[in-house]
Amino acid sequence: MTRRDERPVIVDALRTPIGTQGGALRGVDATALIAPLLATLAGRSDAPIDEVVLGNIRGPGGNPARVAALQAGLDEATPAITVDRQCGSGMAAIEYSVALLAGVREGFQLAGGTQSASTQPLTFWPPTGPGETPEQYLRAPFTDRAHGDPEMGVAADLLAAEHAIDRERQDTYAARSHQRAVTAAAAGIFAEEMLAVAGLDHDERPRAGFTARRLARFRPAFTPDGTATAANSCGINDGAAAVLLCDGTTAARRGLHGLRVVDVVTVGCAPDRPGWGIVPAVRRLVDRTGLDLDRVDVVDFNEAFAGQVLACLDALGIDEERNCPQGGAIALGHPWAATGAVQLTRLFTQLVRHNTTGARYGLAGIAIGGGQGTAMLVEAV
């Protein structure tokens, strides 16, 4: 590992508003969502962009990062790569870029993720024999057949039951996420991190009227006796986010401030409990860095499902009210491949743009389909 003061630094971050599937961004495809972000961030850099790394899943195929970079007007000589780690793709793109910049590469890179659930192509398994028809599927397999490959909602219900996270607690947590996001939006906190797209200048999902009592009326969404509902789970969304980062030497030489990436870890976990991946990832990160979790100022664990994220917080000994202090994916939405980059953009706002308390450390964590998790520790510098 490179010396701490040489670690890559995120020096800027932007996201689009997060739209609901079929909502205001329904006509904007994955590359068109993120191209304006890349153009704006590149325009704020006074040096060429060395590489573009983007996460995307279930998109148009090919190499969306290259398409988006060209749409953004970046130099044709700038290389680009698209990565797919399911829900962790946006954070994986940043992890990839950090690895490059902590090694032999230097200068500035753009990394992030983009997701357009509204425009994703229809996908089919081919016919299995004569006279058979293609079979449409809405997601690719996350695991092999031996591990069951449960739907994410079903796995979240199982995880909540195993860790005694009851329905009332989940609804209370989800209502709090919406309340926090609505409050932050009203205070203008999202304004500097957000670039309007297709006339949309706000997140579509947060609901001012959501209370635990109202959420209690929703029926189980995934299993008959389950506790996960459409209201205490994330949505299906459109959105994109990207960060501008550089190697530590470049940041120091130019006097740039932002978020130093102290460490980032990705690990695997039980494939049939994919929502658990945050826990082993954070534990490995703590082992590597020696940081006491009580010293983390801002925690952002992706809120895929209230029961799932509460189980992870409990296992790590983190008070649930510390997570996502300005609302998380239950309120803002979860544009799959973009979410990890949205999390880092949110940390950039809280630790750099609007840091009035001297807060220093931020911790992002995301669970991934197929049984993986990523955790990233950043430090305001």
Mean pLDDT of 192-209: 97
Sign of CA dihedral 96, 339, 301, 381: positive
Do the domain assignments include residue 163? yes
Structure tokens at 344: 């880092």
Q: What DSSP string runs through 54-68?
A: EE-SSSSSS-HHHHH
CATH code assigned at 269? 3.40.47.10
Give the Å distances, CA to CA, from 210 to 133, 175, 309: 44, 6, 19
- Phi and psi, residue 378, nearest 5°: -125, 155
- Portion of the chain with pLDDT greater than 90, in percent: 94
Which residues does 56 contact at the CB level (< 8 Å), separation at least 6? 30, 64, 65, 82, 84, 89, 113, 114, 115, 337
Sign of CA dihedral 285, 289, 295, 300: negative
Indicate whether 373 belongs to any domain. Answer: yes
Residue 76: inside a domain = no
- Per-residue pLDDT, 139: 85
Taking 80 as the threshold, does the pLDDT of residue 2 lie above it? no
Q: Is 362 helix (H, G, I), strand (E, B) or coil?
A: strand
Q: Mean pLDDT over residues 247-254, rounded?
A: 96
* Nearest C-alpha neighbor of 366 from the set 325, 308, 315, 320: 308
Burial class (CB in 10 A: 0-12, 13-18, 19+), 218: middle
Residue 337 token pair: 């491949």
What is the tens place of the pLDDT at every residue in 20-76? Answer: 999 999 999 999 999 999 999 999 998 999 999 999 999 998 999 999 999 999 999
Identify the pLDDT of residue 6.
85
Asked whether the beta carbons of 282 and 363 are under 8 A apart, the reply is yes
In a domain, 317, yes or no: yes
Taking residues 220-238, what's their average pLDDT? 97
How, if at all, do strands 49-55 and 80-83 pair? parallel
Is 142 domain-assigned? no
Whether this model's pTM surpasses 0.85: yes
Count of domains in the chain? 1
Q: Please give the Cα distance from 348 to 353 (Å, whole number).
A: 7
- Round the average pLDDT of the chain to a whole number and report it: 96
Average pLDDT over residues 198-225: 97
Q: Does residue 179 belong to any structural domain of this protein?
A: yes
DSSP for residue 352: I
Check residue 1 and give its pLDDT. 55
pLDDT digits (tens, 9 = 90+) for 121-178: 999 999 999 999 999 988 888 999 888 888 999 999 999 999 999 999 999 999 999 9
208 lies in some domain: no
* Cβ proximity of 106 and 100 under 8 Å: no
What span, in angstroms and rounded, lies between the C-alpha atoms of 205 and 367?
21
pLDDT digits (tens, 9 = 90+) for 278-321: 999 999 999 999 999 999 999 999 999 999 999 999 999 999 99
Structure confidence by residue, pLDDT tens digits, 311-368: 999 999 999 999 999 999 999 999 999 999 999 999 999 999 999 889 999 999 999 9
Residue 87 within a domain: no
- Whole-angstrom Cα Rg for the chain: 20
Residues known to be catalytic = 87, 334
**Would the pLDDT of 104 be above 90?**
no
Parent domain of 339: 152-188+259-380
